[in-house]
Amino acid sequence: MTARFEDLPAQFTVRAPAKINLHLGVGAPREDGYHPLLTVYQAVGLHDDVTVRPAPDWSVEVAVPDWMDAGQLPRLEDNIVTRAADLLAAHHGVPRAGAVDVVKAIPVAGGMAGGSADAAAALVALDRLWGTGTTDEDLLRIAAELGSDVPFALIGGSALGTGRGELVQRVEDAGTWWWVAVPSDRGLSTPQVYRHFDELSPHAPAQPPPADDLIAALASGVPEALAAALHNDLQEPAIALRPELGDLLDRGEAAGALRGLISGSGPTCVFLCSSPDHAREVAATLADPDGGGDHPTVLVANGAVSGAHLVEYA
């Protein structure tokens, strides 16, 4: 039986994950100002949902949870969702039209690629809404134009990122990993953290440091091995700009986490734990003022999870 036009779905919700950089090796800046990266991404179970519906014009509404500061969201005209729509519409020569709702759970300007997740989800959702049938290759290319982390938000899982982070390939991952994430109440500017990296490391090698140990640890599935191999070249500059992050990392490790790490350019701090129960214990200690914690928002997430994918249509 052939579906009638009015029976076809007209509303799509696409979910996209946050990321953690398990290894973030940074080299000296290139001529275009970007830094060559050798990074291992992991997609973790904190998600933003992007819903698109047909509309004659263009609108983007963003909803944030209570603990998030809506004031940190970029203005509509700068929003990466609108830029994603512009690039996809231009690629196919179709008008940019639709009503978009973004429901955020990934910290804004937190080093977990929340904006990149929104862009990836918007590309997948709008491609369905407009019926443009973009190839995977074209989607990844448009994603790379939008930002260094956007291609990873499309593929998810655990992946090696090279170039400026936009060239992604799957790596073997034998574990289910448990993380505690502590967002900050103030975002940190990624360009500012990279600039501070340049100031602190004026003789950084052109080639970023390799991730062989980390890749072997991921393939082993052993949390202690992964903890020992975690590495982030942006951690020192992020802590130099926000010294309290160093204290938070110490507190998480004192609470029993296998290892604390700044996520990407920060300021979100993530803590690797050995099991779901262990993660809940560490989270409870960090949230408890009597335990020296006092962090109002402490999240637990597992990895690796899928990249941007359709979760609902109506």
Question: Which residues contact ligand C5P (rule: CB under 6 A)?
Answer: 34-35, 37, 147-149, 164-165, 190-191, 194
What amino acid is encoded at 294 in this protein? D
**Quick one: 143 or 279, whose CB is closer to ligand C5P?**
143
Catalytic entry in 49, 149, 173, 233 = 149
**Quick one: 178 or 197, whose CB is closer to ligand C5P?**
197
**104 included as an active-site residue:** no
| Rg, Å, the chain Cα set | 20
Q: Tell me which DSSP letter residue 61 carries.
A: E
Q: How far apart are CA 234 and CA 45, in angstroms?
A: 23
User: At closest approach, how far in Å is the CB of 41 from ligand C5P?
Assistant: 13
**Among residues 20, 41, 46, 303, which one has the least CA distance to residue 171?**
41
User: At closest approach, how far in Å is the CB of 3 from ligand C5P?
Assistant: 40
User: At closest approach, how far in Å is the CB of 33 from ligand C5P?
Assistant: 6
With contact defined as beta carbons under 8 Å apart, do 14 and 310 qualify? yes
User: At closest approach, how far in Å is the CB of 226 from ligand C5P?
Assistant: 23
**Quick one: 81 or 217, whose CB is closer to ligand C5P?**
81
Angle at 25 between CA 282 and CA 32, to 5 degrees: 130
With contact defined as beta carbons under 8 Å apart, do 304 and 42 qualify? yes
- 260: enclosing H helix or E strand: strand 259-262
**Quick one: 17 or 293, whose CB is closer to ligand C5P?**
17
Question: Active-site residues: which are they?
Answer: 19, 149
